[in-house]
């Protein structure tokens, strides 16, 4: 696994541990889903329900595949298996990426405005400067919007062990 992928995985593990216990549990994913939904007041109930369901499904899949000792929590050592063999998580990762991306597009026009993108990513825990750098890397249009499909693909790439020099690396980069 490339260093870039390891750095991305370390960062996302730290953010996914929303309650700071040092490992991932079901509570982390409910907490994160609640934060993201609270940051998206423009989304309708169906979109919010889909987001909650996507976070829970993500946790269920992670736990089923990665909680090797079945103690109800996934440690960092257990978590790294998902980037070592991403093919095992293909369906769950696609669902998660598409649900998160869709939440940024409450009016369903296939585009995401920067303000909402920042709100969502801030809720997950990323830093503002890194969020803006990521948004810019997705090549926003003249009216400062990115395509939902581009973001969904970017989320998937983030977990790709062989990926380097991708937009998602901006989330890891030191600010300055
Ligand atoms: Ca936790
Ligand atoms: Ca475990």
Cα of 82 from ligand 2 centre, angstroms = 14
Nearest ligand to the CA of 79 is 2
Evaluate if residue 69 carries a pLDDT over 80.
Answer: yes
Provide the β-strand partners of residue 113. 145
Average pLDDT for 15-30: 92
Q: How far is CA 9 from CA 101, 158, 161, in A?
A: 19, 8, 9
Cα of 45 from ligand 2 centre, angstroms = 33
Nearest ligand to the CA of 29 is 1
How many distinct structural domains can be found in the chain? 1
Report if residue 87 sits inside a domain.
yes
Domain extent, residue 91, equals 3-171
Evaluate if residue 176 carries a pLDDT over 60.
Answer: no
pLDDT of residue 135: 96
Residue 43 φ/ψ, nearest 5 degrees? -80, 145
Evaluate if residue 82 carries a pLDDT over 80.
Answer: no
Residue 76 φ/ψ, nearest 5 degrees? -60, -40
pLDDT of residue 1: 61
Distance CA 22, CA 167 (A): 27
By mean pLDDT, which of 40-54, 62-76, 110-124, 142-156 is the weakest?
40-54
Does residue 113 sit in helix, strand or coil?
A: strand
CATH of the domain at 130: 1.10.238.10
Report if residue 30 sits inside a domain.
yes
Average pLDDT for 30-59: 79
Cα of 134 from ligand 2 centre, angstroms = 32
Strands (E), the chain: 111-113, 145-147
Report if residue 83 sits inside a domain.
yes
Evaluate if residue 105 carries a pLDDT over 70.
Answer: yes
Evaluate if residue 172 carries a pLDDT over 80.
Answer: yes
Contact 6, 90 (CB under 8 A): no
Distance CA 138, CA 135 (A): 5
Evaluate if residue 160 carries a pLDDT over 80.
Answer: no
pLDDT grade, residue 164 (50/70/90)?
confident
Report if residue 118 sits inside a domain.
yes
Cα of 53 from ligand 1 centre, angstroms = 18
Higher pLDDT pick, 170 / 26? 26
Consecutive H or E run containing 132? helix 128-137
Report if residue 147 sits inside a domain.
yes
pLDDT grade, residue 16 (50/70/90)?
confident
Report if residue 176 sits inside a domain.
no
Report if residue 113 sits inside a domain.
yes
* Other beta carbons within 10 Å of 46: 8
Report if residue 19 sits inside a domain.
yes
Evaluate if residue 41 carries a pLDDT over 80.
Answer: no
By mean pLDDT, which of 12-21, 29-38, 66-75, 92-101 is the weakest?
92-101
Q: What tokens were used for 56?
A: 């829970």
Percent of the chain with pLDDT strictly greater than 90? 30
Distance CA 51, CA 120 (A): 11
């Amino acid at each position: 696994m490339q260093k870039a992928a390891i750095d991305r995985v370390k960062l996302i593990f730290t953010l996914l541990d929303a309650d700071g216990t040092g490992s991932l549990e079901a509570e982390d994913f409910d907490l994160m889903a609640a934060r993201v939904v609270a940051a998206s007041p423009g989304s309708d109930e169906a979109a919010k329900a889909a987001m909650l369901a996507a976070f829970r499904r993500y946790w269920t899949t992670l736990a089923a595949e990665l909680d090797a000792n079945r103690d109800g929590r996934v440690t960092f050592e257990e978590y790294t298996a998902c980037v070592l063999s991403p093919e095992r998580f293909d369906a769950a990762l696609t669902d998660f990426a598409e649900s998160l991306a869709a939440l940024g597009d409450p009016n369903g026009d296939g585009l995401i405005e920067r303000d909402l993108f920042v709100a969502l990513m801030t809720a997950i825990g990323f830093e503002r400067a890194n969020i803006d750098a990521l948004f810019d890397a997705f090549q926003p249009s003249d009216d400062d919007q990115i395509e939902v499909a581009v973001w969904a693909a970017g989320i998937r790439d983030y977990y790709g062990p062989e990926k380097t020099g991708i937009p998602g690396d901006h989330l890891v980069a030191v600010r300055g």
